[in-house]
Amino acid sequence: MTLPELWAELPEPFASALDRERPWLLLAAALDEALAALPSQRIAVALDPRVHLSGDRIEIGAGTRIAPGATIEGPVRIGRDCEIRPGAYLRGSVWLGDGCLVGTNVEVKRAIFLDRAKAPHLAYVGDSVLGRGVNLGAGTILSNFRHDGAEISIPAGEGALATGLRKLGALLGDEVATGCNSVLNPGTIVGARTRLYTGVQLRSGIWPADAIVKLRQELEIVSAR
Distance CA 40, CA 209 (A): 39
| pLDDT of the residue at 131 | 98
CA 215 to each of CA 151, 167, 178, 199, 202: distance values in angstroms, whole numbers, following the listed order: 29, 27, 12, 7, 10
Q: What stretch of H or E contains 205?
A: strand 205-207
Give domain limits for the chain: 14-213
Strands 159-162 and 153-156: what pairing?
A: antiparallel
User: pTM for the whole thing?
Assistant: 0.95
3-state secondary structure 157-169: CCEEEECCCCECC
Distance CA 217, CA 154 (A): 27
| pLDDT of the residue at 91 | 96
| pLDDT of the residue at 17 | 96
| pLDDT of the residue at 158 | 85
Q: Which residues are catalytic?
A: 121
| pLDDT of the residue at 1 | 63
The topology (CATH level 3) of 14-213 is UDP N-Acetylglucosamine Acyltransferase; domain 1 (2.160.10)
3 state DSSP class of 65? strand
Residues (pLDDT < 70) of the chain are 1
